DNA sequence: GTAACTGCAAAATATTTGCATCCTT
DNA sequence: AAGGATGCAAATATTTTGCAGTTAC
């Protein structure tokens, strides 16, 4: 039984350091996408700068991805296995941003429908974000 | 023939000032969505703080909206007529972010397809952003 | 041992707030 | 005239950069 964080780092050919493991663990145990600030709080033994640099590295390697939100914040989430494997990032599920609790959730079961672009445009990635009230806030 | 910027301000019950008119004109003559920085450059006779406050006001009144992008920037665009009218903002077309020139375009002819959310979730707004290479960069 | 990673300090940017003055109605 | 909008100054917050010391391999 190998540590999951370590195995993620290994498959991206990154050296295994305690800050990187910690930040991956934070993502693994989070149920939602996280803002830089959230990560700072949850991994507060590490320098803010290290977190910036680590997130940057993870983005480049496709370990995490950003979720575009209308509320002027940037949220990060772990990529699912199949989106790391291909080398090319593609996240094909819908994201949900709750206007009440502010959480960003991956709706893994809701696929993004196909669309047709006008002539001359090529598509590399597609994102779909729904704003509203989530299950928990509504209850 | 009334000035278009003035008529937009009037229908939102905002007082007509030169900075507000200028900023609306900037949007009207832009072919793409604009970042705060772009607006600063295009309306550089006005204070940076005024631009912050004006954009904030316009967002609240539904004169402009933000477009979520994966590249960690916030882009603003004028709402189309029909999205102002209802009081409730709803932008039902797809946005395109060109990875090469960085421009954000409204694909007015491409509608966002309907999706079904899991039980317990309610939808207030939906956004769809496609990344890729635009028509002009490809040519 | 070497290259890469981290922490600290500091610089550069971006955003927010307070207040006095000016402009719109 | 009154309320709201603007500009300036300054306080905060965010992000980037340089460098020296430390760690992974």
Find which of A103-107, B8-12, B88-92, B95-99 is predicted with most confidence, using mean pLDDT. Answer: B8-12
Q: Provide the 3-class DSSP secondary structure of residue B55.
A: helix
Q: Is pLDDT above 60 for B89?
A: no
Query: What CA–CA distance (Å, rounded) separates B51 from B20?
Result: 9
- In chain B the beta strands, taken as DSSP E runs, fall at 34-35, 64-68, 74-78, 93-98, 104-111, 122-133
Contacts of A120 in chain B (CB under 8 A): 134-135, 138-139
**Segment A59-81, tens digit of pLDDT:** 999 999 998 887 778 899 987 65
Residue B83 (CA) to nucleotide C23 (C1'), in angstroms, measures 31
Distances (CA, A) of B33 to A1, A103, A131, B36, B51: 49, 26, 21, 10, 16
In this predicted structure, what is the pLDDT of residue A72? 74
Rg of chain B (C-alpha set): 16
User: Which positions on strand D lie below 7 Å from a protein C-beta?
Assistant: 4-10, 14-18, 23-25
Residue A58 (CA) to nucleotide D18 (C1'), in angstroms, measures 22
Beta carbons of A130 and B116 less than 8 Å apart: no
Mean of the per-residue pLDDT values of chain B: 88
Rounded to the nearest angstrom, the minimum Cα separation between A28 and chain B is: 21
Residue A104 (CA) to nucleotide C14 (C1'), in angstroms, measures 24
Beta carbons of B121 and A130 less than 8 Å apart: yes
Nearest Cβ partner of A131 from B74, B109, B124? Answer: B124
User: Tell me, what DSSP letter sits at residue A33?
Assistant: B
Q: Is pLDDT above 60 for B116?
A: yes
Name the residue among A26, A9, A127 with its Cα closest to residue A62: A9
In this predicted structure, what is the pLDDT of residue A84? 47
Q: Is pLDDT above 70 for B38?
A: yes
Cβ(B58)–Cβ(B64) below 8 Å: yes
Q: How many other CB atoms sit within 10 Å of the CB of residue A138?
A: 12
pTM of the full structure: 0.85
Residue A103 (CA) to nucleotide D23 (C1'), in angstroms, measures 36
Q: Is pLDDT above 70 for A36?
A: yes
In this predicted structure, what is the pLDDT of residue A90? 57
Mean pLDDT of A112-120: 94
Does nucleic acid strand C have an atom less than 7 angstroms from the CB of A54? Answer: yes
Q: Which of B 64-123 have CB under 7 A of nucleic chain C?
A: 74
Query: What CA–CA distance (Å, rounded) separates B79 from B27?
Result: 10
pLDDT band at A85 (very low <50, low <70, confident <90, very high): very low
Beta carbons of A135 and B119 less than 8 Å apart: yes
pLDDT band at B81 (very low <50, low <70, confident <90, very high): low
Does nucleic acid strand D have an atom less than 7 angstroms from the CB of A17? Answer: yes
Q: Which of B 24-43 have CB under 7 A of nucleic chain C?
A: 36-37
Across all strands, nucleotide nearest B48 (CA–C1'): D7
Q: How many other CB atoms sit within 10 Å of the CB of residue B9?
A: 20
């Amino acid at each position: 039984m190998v540590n999951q964080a370590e195995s993620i780092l290994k498959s991206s050919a990154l050296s295994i350091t305690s800050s990187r493991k910690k930040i991956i663990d934070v993502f693994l145990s989070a149920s939602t996408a996280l803002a830089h600030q959230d990560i700072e709080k949850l991994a507060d033994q590490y320098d803010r700068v290290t977190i910036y640099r680590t997130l940057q590295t993870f983005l480049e390697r496709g370990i995490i991805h950003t979720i575009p939100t209308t509320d002027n914040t940037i949220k990060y989430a772990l990529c699912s296995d199949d989106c790391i494997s291909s080398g090319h990032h593609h996240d094909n599920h819908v994201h949900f941003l709750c206007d009440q609790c502010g959480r960003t959730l991956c709706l893994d079961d809701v696929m993004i429908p196909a669309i047709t672009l006008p002539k001359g445009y090529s598509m590399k990635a597609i994102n779909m974000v729904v704003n509203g009230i989530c299950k928990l806030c509504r209850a």
